[in-house]
Amino acid sequence: DAMVIQNPRYQVTQFGKPVTLSCSQTLNHNVMYWYQQKSSQAPKLLFHYYDKDFNNEADTPDNFQSRRPNTSFCFLDIRSPGLGDAAMYLCATSRDKVAKNIQYFGAGTRLSVL
Amino acid sequence: GQNIDQPTEMTATEGAIVQINCTYQTSGFNGLFWYQQHAGEAPTFLSYNVLDGLEEKGRFSSFLSRSKGYSYLLLKELQMKDSASYLCAVRNDYKLSFGAGTTVTVRA
């Protein structure tokens, strides 16, 4: 059974129209991450939550925001999607920040911007 | 900054062995992970190295040399289902920095 669940798997939005991607986890992990992965490129960390503490990567565009209302759920909000934001968005979790902690990934949401 | 390099593509025959190399230059190091990612699916954890040497897990083995900034993933007795992208990722503190992935194609 999937432990990190992302919905929807495919999302189409229009240029400039806000969109929200969701992630839920059944692992009760403290840390949740959002990555952006463009075709044939490395996943790029956008931000992460350690419990309720939010950490933004320095180069994450202001257009991207995140919410974590409880342990199980985390949302990625793109306020005004541009064509360059079309990508696969991966959610991941880890138990905590200890070095060996494995990150478990969801299947991703592929975002298209028309 | 983080710089993680791995070959873009590799092709091998069913039953053969393939070695995927990864070199890294990072500002910090707390371990190196290998993930497997089938097309359209989530990356799944394969191996973790933090000390120099070889870690063996069934058909998959991973090697690390911290002094050389080098790791490899060895896939033995290749099966068709091993066709996937293999991602090398370096952990610095709690963050992972990924390479772009190596697409392995297994031919019959």
Give tens-digit pLDDT for B51-103.
999 999 999 999 999 999 999 999 999 999 999 999 999 998 878 899 999 99
- pLDDT for B89 equals 95
Any chain B CB within 8 A of the CB of A27? Answer: no
Q: Do A100 and B31 touch (CB under 8 A)?
A: yes
What was the pLDDT predicted at A100? 74
So what's the pLDDT on residue B2? 78
Gap between the Cα atoms of A103 and B94, Å rounded? 10
- Output A13 or A100, whichever has higher pLDDT: A13
Give the integer Cα–Cα distance in Å for A53 and A68: 9
Report pLDDT for B1: 64
Closest CA–CA distance from residue A17 to any residue of chain B (Å) = 25
Looking at the complex, report in whole angstroms how far the Cα of residue B34 sits from the nearest Cα belonging to chain A. 10
Distance from CA of B37 to the nearest CA of A (A): 10
Residues B50, A41: C-beta atoms closer than 8 Å: no
For residues A54-82, give the mean pLDDT: 94
For B11, half-sphere exposure in the C-beta direction (CA atoms, 13 angstrom radius) is: 2
Chain centroid offset of residue B52 CA: 15
Who among A40, A44, A105 is closest to B43 (CB)? A105
**Alpha-carbon gap, residue B99 to B90, rounded angstroms:** 9
Measured torsion, CA atoms of residues B95, B99, B100, B104, in degrees rounded to the nearest 10 = -120
Task: Return the C-alpha torsion angle A41, B38, B30, B17, nearest 10.
Answer: -110
Residue A73's closest CA among A33, A32, A29, A23?
Answer: A23
Give the pLDDT of residue B53.
97
Which tens digit of pLDDT belongs to each residue from B19-45?
999 999 988 898 999 999 998 888 999
pLDDT value of position A98: 75
Nearest residue in B to A94, CA atom: B94
Chain B residue set in contact with A, beta carbons under 8 Å = 4, 8, 30-31, 33, 35, 40-45, 48, 50, 87, 91, 93-101
Model confidence band, residue A58 (pLDDT cutoffs 50, 70, 90)? confident
B22 close to B66: Cβ distance less than 8 angstroms: no
Specify the pLDDT at position A114: 95
Nearest CA in chain A to B96: A45
Pairing of strands B95-98, B102-107: unpaired
Residues of B in contact with A45 (CB under 8 A): 95-97
Output the pLDDT for position A99: 62
For residues A42 and B98, give the distance between their C-alpha atoms in angstroms, rounded to a whole number. 5
Q: Would you say residue A42 has pLDDT above 70?
A: yes
Which of A42, A90, A105 comes nearest B100 by C-beta?
Answer: A42
Q: Which of B30, B31, B98 sits opposite A42 (nearest CB)?
A: B98
Q: Which residues of A touch B33 (CB under 8 A)?
A: 102-103
Q: What is the mean pLDDT of residues A52-72?
A: 93
CA distance B18 to chain A (A): 20
Task: Look at the alpha carbons of A79, A81, A84, A85 in this order and tell me if their dihedral is positive or negative.
Answer: positive
